[in-house]
């Protein structure tokens, strides 16, 4: 069996499954994560189980009625190969699918080969640890928001930490180090999901994804620059840009960028927003940047008005952040630096605990 998606391709654009079939391997079943095996379903939309049109192999959805393989789906499988392009961001649900599938395979006594791929944040760890009381499918592993491990490293860490009976065989990359970005800049980017259309969107994602819980903010979904753009009708780009620059977010720059909102509350409205650009990935702190963006926006419109929006999904915000502490601190007017300081000790402990799971040097 193969758990994969459309971004799992080689340098020539050939999919992992195609290479397996051409190599004479018997592929009994395919499994697809959120967005489906073909990577086209919108975020949060359930995906149906189907069959592959070319190979007539069942494609079992792991983002529908079930979120991990059932015993019946695994009964004909001897070995399960997992090959997905991930981001190393807890809210990006492929890590949740990875964890659930490892548990299901362990229960069925099936060996799992984890084909490794680069991640955008191999050298970056940032954000609060997941509080288990806020566990969900957008927060299923007890890591910081950005946890800086490749899929194979994450699988090793999960076995060491919680799925002790998992039979895992990592398939490491050659010639990769933690500060390398996924793929060759001259090679076409294959989006791992509809919203991560580019390397730039991948980098910006953990800093702006929280706008999905705050309907008064648009984060560029549906545009050509998803997660790179953000704004709201009640704020001007120049004011927002200047305040963000004054806030001192390392490794990022902001520029005025007007655009037409394509989704959400402001769909069809012209937004006088800003574009975020990661200028120095080594200095960039995604979670700190996220808190800073929200802090600046709430101070512009007023904290009471910002957080009392009747459509605000505060429970979803907390699940994305993995804790309610950040939201409460923002509502109380605490500074981004103070908020980030609170997660530093737990982050350092995580870095020490994960050391034995790492496969690559910095």
The string of DSSP letters for 258-316 reads EEE--SSTTTTPEEEEEEEEES-TTT--HHHHHHHHHHHHHHHH-HHHHHT-TT--HHH
The reply to whether CATH 3.40.50.12170 applies to domain 2-190+351-357 is yes
pLDDT single digits (tens) 33-92:
999 999 999 999 999 999 999 999 999 999 999 999 999 999 989 999 999 999 999 999
Instruction: In whole angstroms, give the CA distance from residue 102 to residue 122.
Output: 22
Instruction: In whole angstroms, give the CA distance from residue 229 to residue 4.
Output: 29
Could you give the dihedral angle defined by the CA atoms of residues 235, 240, 241 and 246, in that order, rounded to the nearest 10 degrees? Answer: 170
Global pTM? Answer: 0.96
Could you give the dihedral angle defined by the CA atoms of residues 351, 190, 26 and 150, in that order, rounded to the nearest 10 degrees? Answer: -10
Backbone angles phi, psi at 321, to 5 degrees: -80, -20
Instruction: In whole angstroms, give the CA distance from residue 182 to residue 184.
Output: 7
Instruction: Delimit the CATH 3.90.1150.140 region(s) of the chain.
Output: 199-349
Structural contact between residues 49 and 224, judged by C-beta atoms closer than 8 angstroms: no
Q: What is the pLDDT of residue 34?
A: 98
Instruction: In whole angstroms, give the CA distance from residue 328 to residue 206.
Output: 19
Q: Is 246 exposed, middle or buried (0-12, 13-18, 19+ CB in 10 A)?
A: exposed
Q: What is the pLDDT of residue 6?
A: 96
Instruction: In whole angstroms, give the CA distance from residue 211 to residue 360.
Output: 33
Mean pLDDT per 10-residue segment, the chain (362 residues):
97 94 97 97 96 96 96 95 98 99 98 96 97 98 98 98 97 90 69 96 98 97 98 96 96 98 97 97 97 98 95 98 98 98 98 97 82
Q: What is the pLDDT of residue 183?
A: 56
Instruction: Delimit the CATH 3.40.50.12170 region(s) of the chain.
Output: 2-190+351-357
Helix (H) or strand (E) holding 245: helix 237-247
The reply to whether CATH 3.30.390.30 applies to domain 199-349 is no
């Amino acid at each position: 069996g193969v758990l994969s998606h459309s971004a799992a391709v080689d340098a020539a654009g050939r999919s992992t499954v195609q290479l397996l079939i051409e190599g004479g391997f018997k592929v009994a079943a395919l499994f697809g994560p959120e967005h489906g095996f073909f990577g086209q379903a919108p975020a949060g939309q359930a995906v149906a189980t189907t069959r592959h049109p070319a190979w007539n192999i069942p494609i079992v959805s792991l983002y529908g009625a079930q979120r991990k393989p059932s015993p019946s789906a695994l009964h004909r499988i001897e070995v399960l190969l997992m090959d997905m392009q991930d981001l190393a961001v807890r809210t990006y649900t492929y890590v949740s699918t990875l964890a659930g599938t490892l548990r299901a395979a362990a229960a069925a006594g099936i060996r799992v080969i984890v084909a490794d791929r680069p991640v955008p944040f191999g050298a970056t760890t940032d954000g609060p640890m997941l509080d288990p009381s806020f566990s969900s499918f957008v927060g299923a592993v007890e890591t910081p928001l950005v946890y800086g491990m490749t899929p194979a490293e994450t699988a090793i860490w999960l076995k060491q930490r919680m799925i002790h009976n998992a039979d895992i065989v990592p398939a490491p990359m050659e010639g990769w180090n933690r500060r390398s970005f996924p793929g060759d800049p001259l090679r076409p980017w294959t989006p791992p999901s509809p919203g991560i259309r580019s390397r730039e969107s991948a980098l910006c994602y953990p800093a702006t994804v929280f706008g999905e819980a705050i309907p008064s903010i648009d984060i560029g979904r549906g545009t050509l620059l998803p997660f790179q753009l953000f704004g709201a009708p009640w704020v001007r780009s120049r004011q927002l840009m200047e305040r963000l620059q004054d806030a001192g977010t390392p490794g990022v720059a902001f520029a005025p960028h007007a655009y037409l909102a394509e989704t959400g509350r402001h769909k069809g409205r012209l937004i006088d927003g800003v574009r975020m650009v990661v200028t120095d990935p080594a200095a960039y702190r995604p979670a700190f940047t996220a808190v800073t963006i929200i802090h600046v926006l709430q101070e512009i419109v007023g904290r009471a008005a910002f957080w009392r929006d009747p459509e605000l999904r505060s429970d979803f915000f907390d699940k994305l952040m993995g804790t309610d502490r950040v939201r409460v601190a923002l509502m109380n007017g605490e500074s981004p630096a103070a908020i980030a300081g609170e997660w530093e000790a737990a982050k350092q402990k995580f870095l020490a605990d994960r050391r034995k799971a790492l496969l690559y040097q910095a």
